[in-house]
Amino acid sequence: MISKIIHIRGTVQGVGFRPFVFSTAKKYNITGWVRNSSAGVEILANGTPQEIKVFITEVKTNPPPLAKIDTFVESENYSNGYKDFKILQSQIIPGEFIPISPDVAICSECQKELFDPTNNRYRYPFINCTNCGPRLTIIKGIPYDRPNTTMAEFTLCDRCQAEYDNPLNRRFHAQPVACPDCGPQVWFESLTTGSEKREKGIQRARQFLRDGKIIAIKGLGGFHLACDALNQEAVSKLRHRKKRSDKPFATMVFDMETVKKYCLINNAEETIMGSYEHPIVILPTKKGMHVPKQVAPKMRTLGVMLAYTPLHLLILEPENDYPDLFVMTSGN
């Protein structure tokens, strides 16, 4: 039996690193612990030389998709006798700094749950998991743990807590985990129709967009001003209000199918659009697609992004006689 202490630096918090180390340790009979520190992630591993070797190889070469390891330092250690592998409380090291993961676009599994009527997070605008959701915008301090995020005030319900504590669950140690019973809620406000909460608020927002009105959506990094991109009057009004004479507006769509309806896109561009950042990609507009010139004056291209939060998906969800291309411009 040998013992190693491992210090890992890089983008290793908020990316599912501890749950990954935990399950890898279980897989190779490793005992000891893992914890976040304000310098990165620390692991203490006990096992046979062979077990330790495969464990370290796997942690190094097969980390979670969003993790980026900058340095990996292992050293001999003499503390052993651990019976189990545990995730320990984070440790704060004064003066240390680690990079924080950016916000991550909703993953395909959460998107499936969002539109599954049998799921307890059905149509919940703040659904997230270890692989997706807000990170940088909710962090108030490091290490990245729930008490150091803006989610601290939302106490987990029993169901969410059970998911958070279960190593086999895909929300194991997901700091922003929430559900309709215990997490934040949405609402919609207007001077004419007053304030409406939850699903009613989402439906009201959709009604406004359908009617050619401009709405403001609070997303992860601030407000977006949104309207139906095919409604010339709405786009002109928005352009006038933003005093944005002829700079192109960014647009947002529900899915890749809609991108292809309006634009030409190659494989490389498609991969970039679908990456975890869901960036705006500038694409040539298809011939015969009459997008009002006010969206991108004097351009034959369109800046398009895919909906990247559950809230955007709920607002953009396709329906008969509902817009499918939306101007989504920064309201800051």
Residues that bind Zn ion in the complex, under the rule CB under 5 A: 107, 110, 129, 131-132, 157, 160, 179, 181-182
Nearer to Zn ion, 131 or 309 (CB): 131
Nearest residue to 291 (alpha-carbon basis) of 251, 240, 244 = 251
The nearer residue to Zn ion, 170 or 210, going by C-beta atoms, is 170
Q: Which is nearer to Zn ion, 262 or 308 (CB)?
A: 308
194-197/68-76 β-pairing: unpaired
Residue 214, token pair as written in the block: 């401009």
Rank residues 110 and 328 by Cβ distance to Zn ion and give the closer one: 110
One-letter amino acid for residue 190 of the chain: S
Strand order in the sheet with 31-37: 68-76, 2-11, 40-47, 31-37, 85-87
Q: What is residue 32's three-state secondary structure? A: strand
Longest C-alpha distance within the chain, in Å? 73
Least distance to Zn ion, CB of residue 231, Å = 33
Query: Among residues 43 and 179, whose Cβ is nearest to Zn ion?
Result: 179
Residue 2 contacts residue 53 (beta carbons within 8 Å): no
Pick between residue 120 and residue 236 the one whose CB is nearest to Zn ion. 120
Distance of closest approach, residue 127 Cβ to Zn ion, in angstroms: 7
- Residue 331 CA: distances (Å) to CA of 192, 241, 291: 21, 11, 22
Phi, psi of 5, rounded to the nearest 5 degrees: -115, 135
Query: Are β-strands 40-47 and 31-37 bridged in parallel, bridged antiparallel, or unpaired?
Result: antiparallel
Q: What is the smallest separation between the CB atom of 159 and Zn ion, expressed in angstroms?
A: 5
Q: 22-55 as b/e, with b when 16 or more CB fall inside 10 Å?
A: bebbeebebbbbbbbbbbbbbbbbbbeeebbeeb
Nearest-approach distance from CB 114 to Zn ion, in angstroms: 9
Q: Please report how close the Cβ of residue 188 comes to Zn ion at its closest, in angstroms.
A: 23
> Which CB, 147 or 284, lies closer to Zn ion?
147
Q: Minimum Å distance from CB 160 to Zn ion?
A: 3
- Residue 68 pairs in a beta bridge with 11
Which residues fall within 8 angstroms of residue 84, CB to CB, at 6 or more apart? 31
Output the smallest distance, CB 120 to Zn ion, in A: 8
**Least Å distance between CB 248 and Zn ion?**
31
134 or 143: whose CB is closer to Zn ion? 134
